[in-house]
Amino acid sequence: MLEANRMKRLPLYLFTIMDDLKMKAKGKGLDVVDLGMGNPDLPSPPHVVEEMARAVKDVENHRYSRPFGSVERRLRKAIADWYAQRFGVQLDPETEVLPLIGSKEGIAHLALAFMNNDDIGLVPNPSYPPHANSIIIAGGILYNIPIGPENDFKPNFKTLSREVVRMSKIFHLSYPHNPTGACVGLDFYQEVVDWAKNKDLIVSSDLAYSDIVFNGYKAPSLLQAKGAKEGKCIEFHSCSKSYNMAGWRIGWAVGNAQILRSLEKTKSYIDFGIFPAIQQAAVAALSGPQDYVKQLVETYRSRLEYFVKGLNELGWHVAMPRGTFYIWAHIPPKFSGLTSLEFAQLLVDEAGVVVAPGTGFGEYGEGYIRFAVVQPEARLKVALGQIKKVLSISS
Ligand SMILES: Cc1ncc(COP(=O)(O)O)c(C=O)c1O
Which tens digit of pLDDT belongs to each residue from 220-262? 999 999 999 899 999 999 999 999 999 999 999 999 999 999 9
Q: Tens digits of per-residue pLDDT, 370-389? A: 999 999 999 999 999 999 99
Closest CA to 283 of 15, 17, 21, 99: 99
Query: Which pLDDT score is estimated for 394?
Result: 55
Confidence of residue 91 (pLDDT cuts 50, 70, 90): very high
Nearest CA to ligand 1 atom 3: 208
> Of 345, 365, 363, nearest to 354 (Cα)?
345
The percent of residues above 70 in pLDDT, for the chain, comes to: 99
Q: Across residues 328-355, what is the average pLDDT?
A: 95
Name the fold adopted by 46-287: Aspartate Aminotransferase; domain 2 (3.40.640)
Tell me: pLDDT of 395 over 80.
no
| Residue 61 scores a pLDDT above 70 | yes
Name residues whose C-beta falls within 8 Å of residue 191's C-beta, 6 or more positions apart in sequence. none
**pLDDT higher than threshold 80 for residue 393:** no
The CA 390 to ligand 1 mean position distance, Å, reads 31
Q: Which atom of ligand 1 is nearest to the CA of 104?
A: 11
**CATH class for the region spanning 5-43+291-391:** alpha beta
| pLDDT given at position 74 | 97
What pLDDT is attached to residue 234?
Answer: 98
Question: What confidence score (pLDDT) does residue 18 get?
Answer: 86
Q: What is the pTM of this model?
A: 0.96
Residue nearest ligand 1's atom 2 by CA: 208
CA distance 105 to 134: 10
Ligand 1 centroid, distance to 174 Cα (angstroms): 10
pLDDT score, position 197: 95
The yes-or-no answer to whether 5-43+291-391 and 46-287 have a common fold is: no
pLDDT above 60 (res 332): yes
What lines the ligand 1 site, CB under 6 Å? 38, 102-104, 128, 174, 178, 206, 208, 238, 240, 246, 251
Domain ranges of the chain: 5-43+291-391, 46-287
Section 343-354 average pLDDT: 95
Is the pLDDT confidence value at 7 over 70?
yes
115-170 pLDDT, tens per residue?
Answer: 999 899 999 999 999 999 999 999 999 999 999 999 999 999 999 999 999 999 99
234, 283, 281: which is closest to 97 by C-alpha? 234
Q: How far is the CA of 392 from the centre of ligand 1 (A)?
A: 35
**Mean per-residue pLDDT for 316-344?**
96
On average, the pLDDT of the chain sits at: 96
Taking the CA of residue 105 as reference, the ligand 1 atom at the shortest distance is 11
